[in-house]
Amino acid sequence: MEKGFQMAARAMYFLATIVLILFALVFVGVAAYSVLHSLASFDIEAATHRLLDGVGMIVLAIAIFEIAKYLYEEEIVRDRELRHADEAAAHPDQVPDHHPSSPPAWKGWCWCSRRGPRT
């Protein structure tokens, strides 16, 4: 029963991925057609508006494609590797001791003055 449910869930994720990719392609196509059509009319104001709309549609298409890619990679290809918390815990060798952009942790240092460590 569980295996059947997993197969059905994968099929739904796969279908959603395909539909999202098609939507992204349609957005790109509509944006290109709209821009080319407005440029052919030689109306500068309309072309400017269509160019801006086209950029917005392409950005939206990229976001939709990224969602489809995430669904494919995480739900279909990876076979749901990290289902338990102990599997998701990072190995101690993979966690850095300190982030390079963080300030040094000097004990007793007073950041509000230039006097140095508090006594």
pLDDT of residue 88: 56
Best CA proximity match to 65, nearest among 57, 54, 75: 57
Between residues 67 and 86, which one has the greater pLDDT? 67
- Give how many domains the chain has, as a whole number: 1
The verdict on residue 35 lying in a domain is yes
Residues in the chain: 119
The verdict on residue 101 lying in a domain is no
What is the rounded distance in angstroms from the CA atom of residue 11 to the CA atom of residue 76?
A: 9
Q: Is the pTM of this model over 0.85?
A: no
Best CA proximity match to 68, nearest among 21, 25, 8, 11: 21
pLDDT of 12 above 60:
yes
The verdict on residue 49 lying in a domain is yes
The verdict on residue 105 lying in a domain is no
Indicate the average pLDDT of the chain: 78
The verdict on residue 111 lying in a domain is no
pLDDT of 41 above 60:
yes
The verdict on residue 116 lying in a domain is no
The verdict on residue 59 lying in a domain is yes
The verdict on residue 34 lying in a domain is yes
Dmax over Cα atoms in the chain, in whole Å? 76
Provide the domain limits for residue 73. Answer: 2-79
Question: What are the CA-CA distances from residue 46 to residues 21, 52, 80, 119 (Å)?
Answer: 29, 10, 48, 69
